[in-house]
Amino acid sequence: MTAVTARAHTNIALVKYWGKADTDLIIPQTSSLSLTLDQFYTDTTVAFDADFTADTVILNDHRLSRDASQKVRQFLDLVRQMSGETRFATVTSTNHVPTAAGLASSASAFAALAGAASRAAGMELSRADLSRLARRGSGSATRSIFGGFVEWQAGHDDHTSVAVPFQEQVDWPIAMVALLLDPHEKKVSSRQGMQSSVTTSPYYPAWKQVVAADLAAIKPAILAHDFTTTGEILEANAMRMHALTLSANPPYSYFNGDTLTAMQTVRDLRAAGVACYYTLDAGPNLKVFCQTPDLPAVTTQLAAQFGADRLVVAHPGPGIEFL
């Protein structure tokens, strides 16, 4: 038995992925661009053994039921199919991220699983191939193979839908303050929400045009260290994504009251001269984009309103690592 351990970090999409063109291969409707974060990550160990009679999945010291572990077991089947491995595996995973609360826990989880499982099965995949494999577990996991700013190119099939590093070594002083407003699992999963938006929101065709324009504008802004333009784009893009949830049938929202209050706090800080912008994914937890010199002003104000224990300050993080 050979055990392999991999660590992958979460990423926060600045230009969002929201909607699949192919639900089986998890090929997105649009490309997207993200920032990998250093403070949120998953460590996963995979071991195949001829003595095992079934796959076992242990998450945060709890053995998952057959139903709860279904996605992981299906992913292991894919790895076995690719590698020729025939044995069952034990997967032991520790999530240093609140699960399913809109903080991209599935991104780090499936990126780490892709790395650990493929190596344990005897494969030495390139990072591009790891990105393709991770995508089959969770779309956003395709970006967590790389560090820094990462673009997921939508492509049109399994080979062309892959993440590529845009700027792995982030050479400007930026930070992302995560405000953990509700750590509980969300009522509408990302997968359910995306499908509902794609099929029922009358604004979905416009969303694809928005993403194309935002990607074209944010990439030169990042390369130029243009914080204001980058911040304006990521904030507007997040709000337009959430407009798809409100315009779906039936409508739904990932916001709660604290989310709206925190958004207003960021706008008030900006009006007072503190450069900061917010984004959020499928969950109520806000992420505030700022520059390192402005961190004290941002964290002081948010801590005063919500409590310092709800804040985590993150910086650009690395790509997948083997431990």
**In CATH, which of 2.40.50.100, 3.30.420.40, 1.10.10.10, 3.30.230.10 is domain 2-170?**
3.30.230.10
Nearest to 295 by CA among 308, 279, 276, 280: 276
Q: Name the residue with tokens 């709800």.
A: 310
H or E stretch at 96 = strand 88-96
Is the pLDDT reported for residue 1 higher than 80? no
User: How far apart (Å, rounded) are the C-alpha atoms in residues 47 and 301?
Assistant: 46
3-state secondary structure of 121: coil
For residue 260, the model assigns a pLDDT of: 97
3-state secondary structure of 154: coil
Q: Name the residue with tokens 């572990």.
A: 69
Sign of the dihedral through C-alpha 220, 12, 296, 181: positive
Query: What average pLDDT does the segment 3-20 reach?
Result: 96
Tens-place pLDDT, residues 44-84? 999 999 999 999 999 999 999 999 999 999 999 999 999 99
List the domain boundaries for the chain: 2-170, 174-314
Query: Which CATH fold topology does 174-314 show?
Result: Alpha-Beta Plaits (3.30.70)
Tens-place pLDDT, residues 185-235? 778 888 898 999 999 999 999 999 999 999 999 999 999 999 999 999 999
For residue 151, the model assigns a pLDDT of: 98
Radius of gyration of the chain (CA): 19
